[in-house]
Structure formats: C-alpha cells, structure tokens
Structure 1
Amino acid sequence: MKPYRVLLYYCYTTIENPEQFRDEHHQLCIRLNLLGRIIVAAEGLNGTVSGSPADCEEYMRVVKADPRFESLEFKVDEADEHAFQKLNVRLKSEIVNSDLPVDPLVRTGIHLEPEEFKKMKDEEDVVLIDMRSNYEHSVGKFKGAITFDMENLRELPQHLDEIRHLKNKKVITYCTGGIKCEKASAYLLEQGFENVYQLHGGIIKYGIEAGGEDFDGKCYVFDNRVAVDINQVNPVVISTCYRCGSHTDRMINCASPACNNHVTLCENCGNEHQGTCRDECKADPNLRPYDGTGYYAKETRGYSPLLGYRSQQASMSH
C-alpha cells in the first residue's frame, strides 16, 4: 500500500454559479491538503488531485454528498508521493477543450464498463478509436485501435474523413479517463455514426478493474508520473526512443524549455543527451538539469495553495 492516492474524475452536470463553486472548491482542497488540477465550468467538474488516503477519502465523501455529483465516479490510484506540486482550481468555458457543438447531457455514446469493453472489443464488427492526442497514443494504445495525428480534441472534425467508411461498424471510443469520449462519441452520433460506444472511466478504470489486457505500452497522464503501467496481463512496449529507435516506454519532456516536446527517450539517450530530444535543444541556454525522470515542475517560488487561491481571487477582480 503506497502512502498517497491519486484521484481522477469528471462529471457533466449543471453548475449554476461556477465562480462561487470554484472558490468554495479551492478552499475545500486547501483544507484537505490536496494538490492537483481542477477545472470548473457551467457544464460540470473535471479534475486530478493527489493527497493522503484519509484526505482523499474525505474529499470523495464531500463531493459525492453534493446531489449534483452523485453520479460522479472516482478512479483511485496509488502513488509514492504527491503527483503534483501545486493546486490549481480554474474556471473555464468547458471542462475539456473541444469546441464540439454537442451536449453530453443530451446524448452520448453507450457507456461500456471495463468488463463489457473487454468482452466486446475483439468482435468482428467492432472498431476501437483513440480520442487522445498524438503524443499520448505514441507511448501506449489498445491493440488494433485507430489513432489520429491530432494535438487536441478540437481537431477531431478534421479527421472525420479517416473513419467515415466505418459508419456501419460498432465504434468504441476511448481516452485516459473517459471525459473526452463524452463529447467525442456525442459528436460521432451527430455525424451519422449509429452504433457508438465509449469505454466508461477510460484506460485508467480499465486497468484498475479489468487488468488492462491488450493495452500496449503505457498510459500518458498529466501529472508528475508522466506515464503509468496499465496492462497486468499481456504487457508489451510499442514506443521507440526518439533519438536511437530502441524500444522504450520512458516518456519525458525535453529538457529544453523552449522545446518541451513530449517524447519517448531511452535511459542511455536520456543520460547521454541531457534529457533533450534533439542536438539543437542541448544548446538551449536555459537547459533544465536532467534528473532521469524527464518531468519538470513549474517553479513554485514561495507558492502555497492559499497564496494560489488569493492570486486567483485578485486576477478575477480586475
């Protein structure tokens, strides 16, 4: 049993006064010593936070006690330390950037629980579609899944022609925690796809509840861990080192702040090239010291969650 927990969650629900809710939620996280990233919007709540088991338990209890979030599901993982350096509770127009003209509260793909997904994914008329960004699926994806060369979900309409011929198939969308698929599957339905499903809780829940079978590689996550193991049944490494081409699933951020590319880099190349993806990056005068993890937290400079809360209040009042 590890000393920290990481909670991944989202919920599409109507929040009448998102500004007030954001303030109250930030204070709740401060009280419970949680760090992480949380997005609040009129359409719902989305977050990943880390903390002690007791603090995470209390957070889940308080959130679930709110009738607006009674359907919310937490994906709970273990960690050796806090998965974040800071606490950010931000107000945005969407809880996942998409710009897609859909409302998941009206219509979305059929939710498949991990065990249902496991049984259905290999059927002959089923197609798996990865709704994540290119750097995410480069380090791990489901066997046989279709992937798009896109930076974010806003680009999905540009890739529709790549899958339009699959309209008569059973399409299952998947992503890290399920949130992107709520809008992506709704968008496919709007575009005339008839049999659309989504992996409920995403790759993370599938790994926790169903052993992660047939997920090749690692799952990219948006915290200090960078990428995590999912498959406990038949794991393989599918990614190759950006520099030498050897098989590796070590995902890093380039040590050059001007570049900051997300790439896979083997241990040898990481050490030899100071955690950079290209020789030009090595010449960056602001090169960050490479410590073997390839994760670079933003400088805290006296930051505390309470100061973060006050600075957010100040910026909103101007």
Structure 2
Amino acid sequence: MKGSNPLAMPMSVVNISAYKFIALDALEQRQQALRERCEALQLKGTVLLAPEGINIFLAGERAAIDAIVAWLRRDPKLADLDPKESISDTAPFGKLRIRLKKEIITMRHPQIRPEGGRAPSVSPETLQRWLQQGRDDEGREVVMLDTRNDYEIACGKFSDAVDYGLTSFTGFPDAIAADRERFRERTVVSYCTGGIRCEKAALHMQELGMEHVYQLEGGILRYLEYTDADGWEGNCFVFDERGALDAGLKPAPLPAEPS
C-alpha cells in the first residue's frame, strides 16, 4: 500500500466507498437506523440498501468515518466490510441520502445472486504482476474487461482494455453474450470503479460458461491505492462532486466536452 506524509496533506475530509453483496431484510428499519446514525455523525453521501446488499459512499471527518464503519461492522452480516478511502478538502456530497433499491447495482438479471457466493478475484498486486509479465501464473494471456459506462471510460482505463461503450450496465449481458468467443483460452479480469459492477459481471460470465474469469478486488480505486498504477492510463471517474481522481487518489478534472 502506498505510504503518505500527513504533514504534506492539508485535506481533511475522508471519503469512503464500500459495498457488500449479502441477503438483507428489514430494509426500512435498517434505512432509518442508518440515517439517524449518519446524521448524528454529520456525514454526507449516499447509501443504497437492497435485498442483495449494501452500497456505501460517505464523507466526513476521520473520527466520524471510523465511527460509522465500526457501527456497520457490528452487524454480523457486515463484519468484514472493507471500505476504500480517499481524502479531499471538502465533502464531495451536498447532502445525505439513504435509499432503498431493488438492486444495489442494476443488471436486471435476477438469476445472478452475488450474495450467494463471490466470483474468483485477483488482488491489485497480483494483477499488476500479470500485466507486467503479459500472462497470468498459468501462462494464459490476460485481457482486461471494463464494465463501466462510456463517460467513465473517457476519463481513464487500463491499457488495451476491452470495453463496450455502454451507456448503462443493463447493456452488459447482451454485449458479453455476443463477444464471449474473444475470451476463449484467455484469462479475463473484469473491473470497475470500486468492485461492485465487475463482481456482478464476473458472476454473469461464469453463468455463460466462460472459464478463467476474475474480478479485480476492490476495483480501480483499490488498484490505485495498493500499486504504483502501472498499467493504468488517465484518471478514475467517481460519482461525486470531485468528478475524477488521479493515480494518487487526489481530485482531478474531468475531460473537456467535445466541441
């Protein structure tokens, strides 16, 4: 993991993103309890709750962020919640939203049940080694598969990654079904911003019978946090007022709109 010098970092707001696919019930009670706790800690951001799990984007002071993570982990279902962090000068959210959804990431394929078991994952450090050597540890060619939308990819992506120019994640199943032969005898690593879309994507590819499928553990944000970003090009789009993060997880400008 990259080291940092706190004396050189005037930014004081801690931003976390985390998700977990796990069967959740009593969603309205969870929503109310979480809202009350976040308000008491003066946190801003968005939390999605669905029968398939939780998706979290929150910002606040260090003590408040540590407190909400500890509170969430008291639930046995969320005990291993593993947030990704970045720092900013101000909170990149205008208010707090705790929302109930049918899915925490919409694919509209109800047969894909991530809470029933995870797809195989590859750590950032291992993936970087694979990319540098051009093969996985069994000698297969590695292909990166971007599961994000086109406007996110415009900010940055892994070198030579495959993408489908999606405008919505709901288009992924049809796109991969038409292109699955491309990945035969290769190792495919799906990736996204924080891990949630690439996890569903990897499970769907397994359902299609594709072999040697992995998800990038923690997504792009974890890759930038735990490696020197070799193999990554550009910035990472994020869904808050920062717009994008650079390879050091600092706020970065979005690309200019085409004229």
State the TM bucket, normalised to the shorter chain: 0.7 to 0.9
Structure 1 residue 231: Cα displacement: 5.9
Structure 1 residue 107: Cα displacement: 4.1
Q: Supply the AA of the counterpart residue of 2:215.
A: Q
Q: Supply the AA of the counterpart residue of 1:120.
A: W
Q: Structure 2: how far apart are the matches of 1:54 and 1:231? A: 23
Which residue in the other structure is 1:113 paired with? 123
Q: Deviations over 1:34-60 (max 9, x none)?
A: 000110011111011100111111111
Q: Deviations over 1:17-41 (max 9, x none)?
A: 1111011111111011100011001
Gaps of 5+ in 1: 233-248, 252-263, 266-275, 279-318
Q: Structure 2: how far apart are the matches of 1:106 and 1:41? A: 14
Q: 2:160 aligns with which of 144, 153, 160?
A: 144
Q: 1:229 aligns with which of 210, 229, 246?
A: 246
Q: Structure 2: how far apart are the matches of 1:42 and 1:105? A: 9
Q: Which has the higher contact order (CA 8 A, sep 6+)?
A: 2
Mapping of residues 7-18 of structure 1, within 5 Å: 7-18=16-27
Structure 1 residue 108: Cα displacement: 3.8
Structure 1 residue 71: Cα displacement: 2.1
Q: Supply the AA of the counterpart residue of 2:121.
A: H
* TM-score with structure 1 setting the length: 0.72
Q: Structure 1: how far apart are the matches of 2:63 and 2:237? A: 26
Q: Tell me the C-alpha RMSD between the 2 structures.
A: 1.6
Q: 1:209 aligns with which of 226, 229, 239?
A: 226
- 8 A contact 2:22–2:114 mirrored in 1: no
Q: Deviations over 1:113-169 (max 9, x none)?
A: 211111123315111100100110111000111011111211012212234331321
Tell me, yes or no, if structure 1 residue 157 matches structure 2 residue 170. no
Gaps of 5+ in 2: 1-8
Which residue in the other structure is 1:104 paired with? 114
Q: Percent of pairs identical after alignment?
A: 30
* TM-score with structure 2 setting the length: 0.88
Q: Structure 1: how far apart are the matches of 2:228 and 2:13? A: 21
Q: Structure 2: how far apart are the matches of 1:211 and 1:34? A: 30
Tell me, yes or no, if structure 1 residue 135 matches structure 2 residue 145. no
Structure 1 residue 200: Cα displacement: 0.6
Which residue in the other structure is 2:3 paired with? none
Structure 1 residue 102: Cα displacement: 0.5
Which protein has the larger Cα radius of gyration, Structure 1 or Structure 2? 1
User: What SS is found at the alignment partner of 1:157?
Assistant: helix
Q: How many residue pairs get matched? A: 240
